[in-house]
A and B are shown apart, each in its own frame.
Chain A
Amino acid sequence: MTAQTATPIATAPSQPHSTQRRAAQRRKRLRNLGFFALLAGPNIALLLIFVYRPLLLSFYYSMLQWNMGSSVARFIGFENYIRWFTDPDTPQVMGTTAIFAVTTVGGSLVLGLGLALLLNKKIFGRGIARTVAFAPYVLSGIAVGMLWLYIFDPRYGLLSTLLKAIGLSSPQWYTTSPWALIMIIIVYLWKHVGYVALIYLAGLQGVPQDLHDAAALDGAGKTRTFWSIVLPLLGPVTFFLLITTILSSLQSFDLIKAMTDGGPLGSTTTLMYQIYVEGFQTGRAGFASAAATILFVILLVITAIQLKFMERKVHYA
């Protein structure tokens, strides 16, 4: 495609011809630039305006003593970060965030893998089961939260009735400290386990049958085959899921907003939720931006680990 003007035949009367050709090439390059700007321009401009600009601005905001909606802002350097780290609420927020992340990620991986193993068997009804398991994942977090609030209602809910039937009494899910967080974790697992199961299912179907046969020939039982062959082969899938579920767990908002609004007494306020509360309820936009930057750094580190790993171990479909 590039300038191959110097073909022997073309050399003799080449002077006008070659400039013509170069001009044509220039025109073509300009046309290409024009098309590129037309086709990729809008998308890239939107990314720059609504993703990159706010990213930089957020760093800047985090250095300001500034309230949402106010026109007065004072530059205070890293003071918001110092305030965040010394804030008496920070240990609770980070503790809640950590508990929430560990239980939702661990729970959805274990339950998801179990469900995937079950759905991988050739048994009657697995198509329906697959559909049913995955359905909650596509539903609005707000709606799911609302539905489960009703189920958890200590007096009229489905769960309290079930608990009573086996001789237990229902805890006050909404208003007592560990139970509110447990409630949200359960609902989060219900909503997300189908996604994990689905990805694991895709991974399980990639395990070649001859490996199973070979293991059976060597006299390995099903449990042994699972631990020594299937699970290691699922390593890359597990890693992918580990990272993506950590990211989505750390960013979850809807369920907490719908079910507890961060309470009781901040016991369900995660770092993500704190950013919303500080930015839009308390109005401390500078402080909230500092918290957002801290969350960003955490997410970035996790993503960097993932990218490093994905490069070697994992292929895109």
Chain B
Amino acid sequence: MSTTVDERVDAPTPAGTDQPKGRRRPFRAHLDAGLYLTLIAAILVMSVPLIWMFLASFKESGEIYSVPLQWLPEAFEWTNYEQVATSIPIGRMALNSVGLTIAGAGLKVFLGLTCAYALVFIDVPFKRVAFVVVIFALLIPSQITIIPNYTLIASLGWLNTYQGILVPGLASAFGTFLFRQHFRSLPISVLEAAQMDGAGHWRRLWRFVVPMSMPTIAAVGLISLVAEWNDYLWPMLVTDNTDTMTLPVGLTLLQSLDGLQNWGVLMAATVVVTTPMLLIFLVLQRRLVSGLTAGAVTG
């Protein structure tokens, strides 16, 4: 708490964007120093926990519980990771997570694309009704669907199966909505020309619409990847078997395994869960951000 308060006090004072080079030089220098201090404080508050996690995952238990706090591990040991691997089948869980994430995100994008194409480019009398069905689904929170969906999945015998984790979340209301917004801005003449040349809907979708929509597809795909990877509540309810369990669920399993919390081991598992998303984020930041801010506001 103590560290976060600083930014609240300092930040609003230097409002607006940079002024043209001003007269009051000494004052400006003072202001800049404050700015940098605030900026550094903010960076520290946001990054130190993550650095701390990485360092702790390589510490031996003696170092973790040494009372004058120790920043760096004596030697970067993999023992915690080995212990994670012997406590839970983390390889299997990682594989489950990777597979379900890729399948889930891929299918979500596919379903969203085809649905949005139909909603924009195919003329049928009940098109508006179909659109309203999609849009209204955005307003229904997943909490209210949990219990009925759970009983359905259980009655299908889908508990502890991949399809049980995957299928209920596949329908893409958000993706469909973003794709639709984007498709309506596409140059219609290109599609009309394609139609003249005898291209059917399927061909028009994949040869013309999809190539023209790559940035939106990338953004929706990335958001879906992040959401699928991090999803917890539903996979936790549907699986209690380590063969089909995903990483976040396995992580809580590890927590309850030992009565005493073994922080080194827990941090090693936490690193395994967080690293893929951190890497994706660092590499594809711009795309991800454009997707997350789309549907937000412009002035």
Please give the residue numbers on chain A whose beta carbons come within 8 Å of chain B beta carbons, in ascending order: 1, 32-33, 35-36, 38-40, 42-44, 46-48, 50-55, 57-58, 61, 68-69, 110-111, 113-115, 117-118, 120-123, 125-126, 128-129, 131-136, 138-144, 146-151, 153, 156, 158, 161-162, 166, 182, 186, 189-190, 194-195, 198-199, 202-204, 206-207, 209, 212, 216, 222-223, 225-227, 230, 233, 236-237, 240, 247, 251, 253-254, 257-258, 272, 275-276, 279-280, 285, 288-289, 292-293, 295-296, 299-300, 303, 314-317
Chain B contact-residue range equals 35 or more
Smallest Cβ distance from B290 to chain A, in angstroms?
9
Tell whether, in the assembled complex, residue A47 and residue B137 are in contact, meaning their CB atoms are under 8 Å apart. Answer: yes
Specify the main secondary structure of chain B where it touches its partner. helix
Q: Can you give 6 contacting A-B residue pairs, CB < 8 Å?
A: A54-B147, A118-B38, A131-B282, A138-B226, A147-B52, A223-B12
Tell whether, in the assembled complex, residue A233 and residue B294 are in contact, meaning their CB atoms are under 8 Å apart. Answer: no
Q: Is the C-beta of B211 less than 8 angstroms from some C-beta in chain A?
A: no
Provided the pairs A43-B114, A43-B176, A121-B35 are in contact, do residues A135 and B50 lie with their beta carbons within 8 angstroms?
A: yes
Provided the pairs A140-B232, A253-B232 are in contact, do residues A148 and B49 lie with their beta carbons within 8 angstroms?
A: yes
Smallest Cβ distance from A76 to chain B, in angstroms?
17
A residues in contact with B50, CB < 8 Å: 135-136, 147
Bound complex: CA of A121 vs CA of B17, how far in Å? 6
Tell whether, in the assembled complex, residue B171 and residue A50 are in contact, meaning their CB atoms are under 8 Å apart. Answer: yes
Tell whether, in the assembled complex, residue A43 and residue B139 are in contact, meaning their CB atoms are under 8 Å apart. Answer: no
Tell whether, in the assembled complex, residue A128 and residue B267 are in contact, meaning their CB atoms are under 8 Å apart. Answer: no
Tell whether, in the assembled complex, residue A50 and residue B145 are in contact, meaning their CB atoms are under 8 Å apart. Answer: yes
A residues in contact with B296, CB < 8 Å: 199, 202, 237, 240, 317
Tell whether, in the assembled complex, residue B233 and residue A146 are in contact, meaning their CB atoms are under 8 Å apart. Answer: no
Provided the pairs A32-B124, A111-B8, A121-B14 are in contact, do residues A142 and B248 lie with their beta carbons within 8 angstroms?
A: yes
Smallest Cβ distance from B64 to chain A, in angstroms?
6
For B146, give its contact among A158, A212, A230, A275 (CB under 8 Å): A275
B residues in contact with A223, CB < 8 Å: 12-13, 15
B residues in contact with A114, CB < 8 Å: 7-8, 10-12
Bound complex: CA of A285 vs CA of B39, how far in Å? 48
Tell whether, in the assembled complex, residue B43 and residue A61 are in contact, meaning their CB atoms are under 8 Å apart. Answer: no
Residues of B1-41 whose CB lies within 8 A of A: 1-2, 4, 7-8, 10-19, 32, 35-36, 38-39
Tell whether, in the assembled complex, residue B38 and residue A222 are in contact, meaning their CB atoms are under 8 Å apart. Answer: no
With contacts A39-B117, A247-B141 known, what are 6 further pairs, Cβ within 8 A?
Answer: A135-B282, A140-B274, A142-B232, A150-B56, A198-B293, A237-B297
A residues in contact with B52, CB < 8 Å: 147, 150-151, 158
For A143, give its contact among B48, B139, B176, B273 (CB under 8 Å): B273
Tell whether, in the assembled complex, residue B69 and residue A292 are in contact, meaning their CB atoms are under 8 Å apart. Answer: no
Tell whether, in the assembled complex, residue A57 and residue B252 are in contact, meaning their CB atoms are under 8 Å apart. Answer: no
For B17, give its contact among A47, A120, A194 (CB under 8 Å): A120
Specify the main secondary structure of chain A where it touches its partner. helix
Tell whether, in the assembled complex, residue B16 and residue A230 are in contact, meaning their CB atoms are under 8 Å apart. Answer: yes
Tell whether, in the assembled complex, residue A317 and residue B122 are in contact, meaning their CB atoms are under 8 Å apart. Answer: no
Q: Is the C-beta of B79 less than 8 angstroms from some C-beta in chain A?
A: no
Provided the pairs A118-B35, A146-B266, A156-B64 are in contact, do residues A47 and B118 lie with their beta carbons within 8 angstroms?
A: no
Tell whether, in the assembled complex, residue B147 and residue A142 are in contact, meaning their CB atoms are under 8 Å apart. Answer: no
**A-B pair number, CB within 8 angstroms:** 340
B residues in contact with A134, CB < 8 Å: 281, 285, 289
For B278, give its contact among A139, A166, A190, A316 (CB under 8 Å): A139
Smallest Cβ distance from B10 to chain A, in angstroms?
8
Smallest Cβ distance from A286 to chain B, in angstroms?
9
Tell whether, in the assembled complex, residue B172 and residue A43 are in contact, meaning their CB atoms are under 8 Å apart. Answer: yes
Smallest Cβ distance from B250 to chain A, in angstroms?
10
Q: Is the C-beta of B130 less than 8 angstroms from some C-beta in chain A?
A: yes
For A57, give its contact among B119, B148, B201, B278 (CB under 8 Å): B148
Tell whether, in the assembled complex, residue A288 and residue B147 are in contact, meaning their CB atoms are under 8 Å apart. Answer: yes
Tell whether, in the assembled complex, residue A58 and residue B134 are in contact, meaning their CB atoms are under 8 Å apart. Answer: no
Tell whether, in the assembled complex, residue B111 and residue A58 are in contact, meaning their CB atoms are under 8 Å apart. Answer: no
A residues in contact with B167, CB < 8 Å: 46, 50
Tell whether, in the assembled complex, residue B143 and residue A51 are in contact, meaning their CB atoms are under 8 Å apart. Answer: no
Smallest Cβ distance from A52 to chain B, in angstroms?
7
For B298, give its contact among A189, A206, A258 (CB under 8 Å): A206
